[in-house]
Amino acid sequence: MAYYLAFPSAGALYLDSTVILTGHFKITVDMVWSGIGNNKIFDSPGSADRFDINIGVNGTFDNRDYMSVAVDGVLNQSLQSGVRQTVEIYRNSSHSDQGTKRLQWVGRRYEASFGGNFFYFESDLYGFKIENPTGTITNNYLPTYPDGTGTIWGDSVSGNTARQQDTWPADNSEWVFYDPPAVTPVNPSITNLLATSARLTWEQG
């Protein structure tokens, strides 16, 4: 069984502990963008060592000196509204800002902007994982890990629980059940087979 998390207009997640991003890293996000724009995927607990990942109104990601973004394997590609896509946020030796970054908010700005906006995610999240400079997964929020109820999303690797903050439904309707794709697609091309295999490996833990 698997559930994705449908973020409401004013709901976010907050990790129990700050994730410290040093050196080269990669964050892989499995998501469906709502198409609203000015949506926040990740942010820091405060203004220090800011890790600010924002989706613009046209589905593009704001430029940052400390990371690049690939959508479905294509660098600087825009998100498509209503389509399930894989987003990779990463830093390598090509980035000018190699400083420490801190991640703790998922789906919200750390504080309201001057206009009073938190820039909530307002989209569907199937899961995300964080890899350190050696490629080891340090945090993993799997779509198979939630049970369809409650206010937390467990981290299957390090136990850094993500907890709902601000305004969420009271009836657990934010947890949406779905059937993962079949293990073997009919007459698959090698590209589709590899993509399906990678997603199944993640969804099945």
Position 95 pLDDT exceeds 70:
yes
Q: Which residue type occupies 109?
A: R
Domain count, the chain: 1
Residue 98 · residue 24 · CB < 8 Å: no
* Mean pLDDT on 177-200: 60
Query: What's the domain range around 117?
Result: 2-203
Residue 135 · residue 57 · CB < 8 Å: no
Distance between CA atoms of residues 32 and 86, nearest Å: 9
Residue with the two structure tokens 């206010």 = 151
Position 130 pLDDT exceeds 60:
yes
Q: Which residue type occupies 43?
A: D
Residue 6 · residue 178 · CB < 8 Å: no
* Mean pLDDT on 22-36: 97
Distance between CA atoms of residues 2 and 180, nearest Å: 7
Q: DSSP string of 9-71? A: TTEEEEEEEEEEE-SSEEEEEEEE--S--SEEEEE-SSSTTB--EEE-TTSPBPPBTTBEEEE
Distance between CA atoms of residues 148 and 16, nearest Å: 20
Nearest Cα to Cα of residue 2 among 132, 183, 199, 179: 179
Place 192 in a pLDDT band, splitting at 50, 70 and 90: low
pLDDT value for 165? 98
What CATH number does residue 22 fall under? 2.60.120
* pLDDT tens-place string over residues 72-86: 999 999 999 999 999
Distance between CA atoms of residues 112 and 118, nearest Å: 5
> Could you tell me the sign of the dihedral formed by the alpha carbons of 102, 104, 107, 111, in that order?
negative
Position 185 pLDDT exceeds 60:
no
Under DSSP, the state recorded for 67 is: B
pLDDT value for 66? 97
